Every structure is written in C-alpha cells, then in structure tokens.
C-alpha cells in the first residue's frame, strides 16, 4: 500500500539539492491601477450630481471622450454615447463635466483613496466590457449593479421622443447620418483614426496590439445598428485581406462610400432648411432643447470635433450648414 505521507526518494533528492528559497515581497501596483481607473472617469456636475448613497448613482460607459473647445466640457466621442450623455443631463438636471474633474474634482492619485461623496460619472471602457461589444452602457448602483446595454438604453431614449414626426426624424439620423459617420470613420479616414475615436488607450498599445485592437473595434462597429446588413459589400471588404487594415480604399470599392455620404449630406441640408425656414432656435417648440435636438446635436458635434480631416460630411456641415453648427453649440451650452 502506498504511503502518501512520505515523499518519494527521487523527488526528495531533487528538493534536497535545490532547497526552497524565500523571495522578498512583490510591491503591489493596486494603487497605481486605482489611479489609472480614476483618470478614465469624469464626473457630472450640478446640484443633482452628488448622491447620499452609491446605490443611487450611475456610471455611463463610453468609448472615448474629447474636450469641447467652445465650452471646455468633456463629451463622448461617439454620437450614440453623446446622445445618452446629453439625455442623462436633461433627465436628471445635470451639468457636463470638465477635464478639471477627470478622476474627481481637484483630486490627486493619493487623495483618491479618501472617502468622497457618491457622484454620477462617465467612464471610458473597452467595448469588450459589454456583452454585445457595443457602447454606451449604463451602470446603475455600486455594490449591487444593474447594467443597461446599448439596445436597452436606445429603447428607453426612443420612448421619450413623443412626437410622431420627431420619431421619424430621429430614425433618419440613426440610419442615414449614422451610416455615413461609421463609413467615413472606418473606411474614409487614416488607419489609426478609428482607434483615436473608439479606444481610450490606443497610444499604450504596440504595433501588433494596435492592429488587433483596430480590427476588433472595426468589426464591432460594423455589427452595431445593423450597418453590415445595409452595406454588406463594405462589410465583406472590411473582413478581407485588402480591407481597411491594409490601407486606404482604392478602386471600385472606394465608390461605395459616395452614395452613403451624399445621402447624409442631403439629410443635413434638409435639417438646415428646417431651422432656417421656421426661424427657431431648436427643433422642439419650446425654448429649450428637446430629445430631437439632443439627437441632432450629438451627431453634428461629433462631426465637427471628432471626424477626421478627410471627412467630406464634416466639411459639408461646416461650409453649408451654419444653422446646424450654431444649433450644436447651443444644445451643449444648455448643460454647462
């Protein structure tokens, strides 16, 4: 019968020859990780931003943020994420955060360990943090968290657009203009532009990881909102060896972008005319921005500030749609 209490001779001989050694403790980098996480989190402002309990707070997960030059506010770099950010401000009477509040207002890495009042926030995430690899997500609560997916958020926001005409207008932006935004971001811009817009940590990756990240982000974006179904040829091209990972589009494939962008340009012009003909500040009948205004401004703001220098749609917006340009700034200023 084998005695499991005794160490076999050959094994014992090895350990006798190579005795165990005590190694010094390894320094924990948890505090550095905590500081890095806090620097990806900005905080909504206003009287309603601070809550008495963490269970009453939310965190909006977005791809990336940029500083809005006209207001110095931190805004999400994707139209859907920005629409959600503005809608949260409207619903909860919040103000947009600033870079000074990145990681917590006036907080340093050392002070992040101190207890602070729970506060609504916005945090940059990898799309892989979502089940469907799509952002935004809304994380509600602290200890017991409830996560709303992109589709869940969109369903709620669509239900808040009450006017039937506005519902149709919003759907137009989420199809025609959305498709042009994605098409130009993925296919009509320098290769690293998609990461600049949709990856918060793209500078930290090496060449190989950047390639993998760019491909993952690209394929996830093409699946979002049914883009790959409406533009199957572009989606197949994206997944081919000669796709956007290899370089700029050329030949017949480049012509696939033209009708997408031209349709979006016509849509911009139609809404430009609506504002000009009605001689009103907002599309809603009130003196403040309604849900359709937030929808339109989320796209125009991202086009003005996040589109690549090669974007024909952004150039068209700047040259031909002064009313929409002014409208986008007025909407953002409502929450400053």
What does 290-316 look like in DSSP terms, one character per residue? -HHHHHHHHHHHHHHHHS-TT-HHHHH
Quote the pLDDT of residue 99.
Answer: 85
Distance CA 258, CA 266 (A): 12
Quote the pLDDT of residue 139.
Answer: 96
Task: Convert 60-91 to b/e letters by CB count within 10 Å (16 or more is b).
Answer: bbbbbbbebeeeebbbbbbbbbbbbbbbbbbe
Which residue ranges form the domains of the chain, and what is each CATH number?
A: 41-107+118-158 (3.40.30), 162-333 (1.20.1050)
> Of 256, 263, 264, nearest to 238 (Cα)?
256
Residues of the chain with pLDDT under 70: 1-5, 11, 14-15, 17-23, 25-38, 101, 103-115, 202-209, 242, 244-252
As a whole number of angstroms, the longest Cα–Cα distance in the chain is 97
Distance CA 198, CA 170 (A): 23
Quote the pLDDT of residue 26.
Answer: 60
pTM over 0.75: yes
Task: Convert 16-40 to b/e letters by CB count within 10 Å (16 or more is b).
Answer: eeeeeeeeeeeeeeeeeeebeebeb
CB distance 62 to 134 below 8 Å: no
Q: Where are the alpha helices (H) located in 135-206, listed in sequence order?
A: 150-159, 164-172, 178-187, 193-198
Distance CA 316, CA 336 (A): 27
Q: Cis (ω within 30 of 0) for the bond into 259?
A: no
Quote the pLDDT of residue 239.
Answer: 84
Quote the pLDDT of residue 273.
Answer: 95
Quote the pLDDT of residue 270.
Answer: 97
Distance CA 49, CA 24 (A): 45
What is the CB neighbour count within 10 angstroms for residue 273? 12
């Amino acid at each position: 019968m084998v005695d499991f209490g005794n160490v076999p001779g050959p094994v014992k001989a090895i350990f006798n020859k190579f005795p165990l050694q005590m190694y010094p403790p390894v320094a924990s980098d948890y505090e550095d990780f905590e500081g890095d996480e806090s620097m990806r989190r900005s905080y909504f402002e206003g009287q309603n931003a601070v809550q008495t309990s963490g269970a009453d707070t939310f965190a909006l997960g977005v791809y990336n943020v940029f500083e809005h030059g006209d207001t110095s506010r931190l805004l999400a770099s994707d139209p859907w994420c920005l629409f959600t950010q503005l809608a949260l401000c409207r619903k909860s009477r919040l103000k947009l955060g600033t870079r000074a509040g990145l990681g917590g207002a006036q907080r340093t890495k050392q002070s992040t360990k101190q207890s602070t009042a729970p506060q609504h926030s916005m945090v940059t995430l990898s799309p892989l943090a979502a089940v469907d690899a799509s952002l935004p997500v809304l994380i509600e609560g602290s200890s017991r968290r409830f996560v709303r997916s992109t589709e869940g958020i969109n369903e709620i926001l669509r239900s808040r657009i009450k006017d039937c005409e506005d519902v149709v207008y919003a759907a137009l932006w989420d199809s025609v203009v959305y498709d042009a935004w994605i098409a130009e971001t993925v296919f009509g811009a320098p290769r690293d532009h998609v990461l600049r817009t949709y990856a918060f940590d793209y500078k930290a990756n090496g060449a190989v990881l950047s390639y993998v990240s760019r491909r993952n982000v690209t394929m996830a974006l093409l699946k979002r909102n049914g883009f790959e179904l409406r533009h199957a040829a572009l989606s197949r091209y994206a997944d081919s060896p000669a796709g956007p990972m290899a370089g700029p589009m050329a030949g017949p494939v480049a012509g696939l972008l033209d009708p997408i962008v031209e349709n979006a340009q016509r849509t911009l012009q139609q809404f430009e005319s609506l504002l000009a003909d009605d001689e009103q500040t907002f599309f809603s009948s009130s003196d403040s921005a309604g849900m359709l205004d937030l929808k339109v401004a989320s796209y125009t703001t991202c086009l003005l500030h996040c589109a690549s220098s090669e974007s024909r749609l952004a150039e068209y917006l700047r040259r031909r749609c002064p009313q929409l340009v002014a409208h986008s700034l007025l909407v953002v200023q409502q929450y400053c």
